[in-house]
Chains A and B, each alone.
Chain A
């Protein structure tokens, strides 16, 4: 078993096996619909779809941290971190509608949770 990984990671060979992985707290935040163009850009980049969990970068990070394996040839932790900082910056500087702000907050919280998983 790879050192430092969850005991459930044993036998997982690829991100395509993600459904076999137990004990991971997958994202409960599906892709939100938002109006603000800058926020929409972040959301589109984070929710490409497919792959692992609900198809979000957050779930790619959770998989990578639980198994030590890449998703589609790369690690997604810095992508998640940069996008989190971008969303936080946007929330601090842009005027957002209440629903956009709530969506941004949910996604930011999910990113933080993913980045703290497996640590």
Chain B
């Protein structure tokens, strides 16, 4: 019964790739490594990691004038920019329906706007469609 709902292998591979590039996300509060084989659960945890890095960057800029984690954030957003219009439907859906659609759940309105401004143009357009379309 449960096998018919198995995730697309390309989304599991994408999750493993993210886990490989950002091993520090395992230290994010609430992160559950056992979710990597359920990509839509994993990507929600990954979003929490992205938000935690974003908040760390803001804190560092406030206190030290520069942020050591800023490159990590840029790296994340570049990966999403490269894959948000992927020819692989399953990966494209994962980014749009998993990462972007509920992007506003864990952030304030101000944080949402700041994060949105940091996204690449393709990811930003997908965010508007996935997350803002119905509130217009």
Contacts and interface: CB of A to CB of B under 8 A. Distances in A.
Interface of A: 41, 44-45, 48-51, 57, 72-76, 78-86, 88, 115
27 contacts: A41-B44, A45-B40, A45-B44, A45-B102, A51-B133, A72-B101, A72-B133, A73-B96, A73-B126, A74-B97, A74-B130, A75-B89, A76-B97, A78-B7, A78-B11, A78-B39, A78-B40, A78-B94, A81-B5, A81-B7, A82-B38, A82-B39, A83-B40, A84-B5, A85-B5, A85-B38, A86-B41
B129 A48 contact: no
B10 to A, nearest CB: 10
A5 B129 CA distance: 25
A82 B6 CA distance: 8
Interface residues of B, number: 30
Name the residue among A57, A79, A88 with the largest chain B CB count within 10 angstroms.
Answer: A79
Contacts, number: 75
A52 to B, nearest CB: 10
